[in-house]
Structure 1
């Protein structure tokens, strides 16, 4: 239970910091970009490093980066499927999910993300 409270407090503080950063930067759309995901990731990595050590946190960070790369590729593929092939949104996202899995596990295998 205390882990959730700590994650909530750290996440909230980092969300506020990123929101202030996003408010200073232009365009204002950066505020949403810097809002939730980086703060939750940083809070999670901080807790992982505290509870399990830096090696475990590094492994988690590598997995987060692989997921982010895969998400970027997934987003491009979904956009291309929607615009070029005129697929419905559900079909495009399900097809692109396969691409996301291939890219995520491919990046992890390239960097040795499964080894401790």
Structure 2
């Protein structure tokens, strides 16, 4: 219960800080980018360091980075399928999930071999 309360408080504070940052920056589309993911990741890593130590949090951060890289590649594939191949959004998204899984798990395996 305490973990959830800390995650809620830390996440809320960091979301507010990122919202202020997003309000200052242009364009306003940065607001969504800075809204949730960084604050949740920072709160999760803070709790992981507190409960499990820095080495555990380091492995978690590698997984977060692998997922972020896979999401970027997934987004590029979706855009290419929508624009160049003129595939419907549902089918482009479903097809790119396979790409996301392959990239994410490949990077996860590579990162796991280095630790």
TM-score calculated relative to the size of structure 2: 0.92
Note the C-alpha offset of 1:102.
1.1
Q: Which is richer in helix?
A: 2
Aligned residues: 115
The answer for unaligned runs of 5 or more in structure 2 is none
Aligned to 2:35: 35
Gaps of 5+ in 1: none
Whole-Å Cα distance in 1 between the matches of residues 109 and 51 of structure 2?
26
Q: Secondary structure at the match of 1:34?
A: helix
Deviation at 1:82, TM superposition (A): 1.3
The correspondence of residues 1-116 of structure 1 with structure 2, limited to 5 A, is 1-110=1-110, 112-113=111-112
- For residues 88 and 30 of structure 2, what CA distance do their matches in structure 1 show? 29
**How far is 1:51 from its partner?**
0.5
RMSD: 1.4
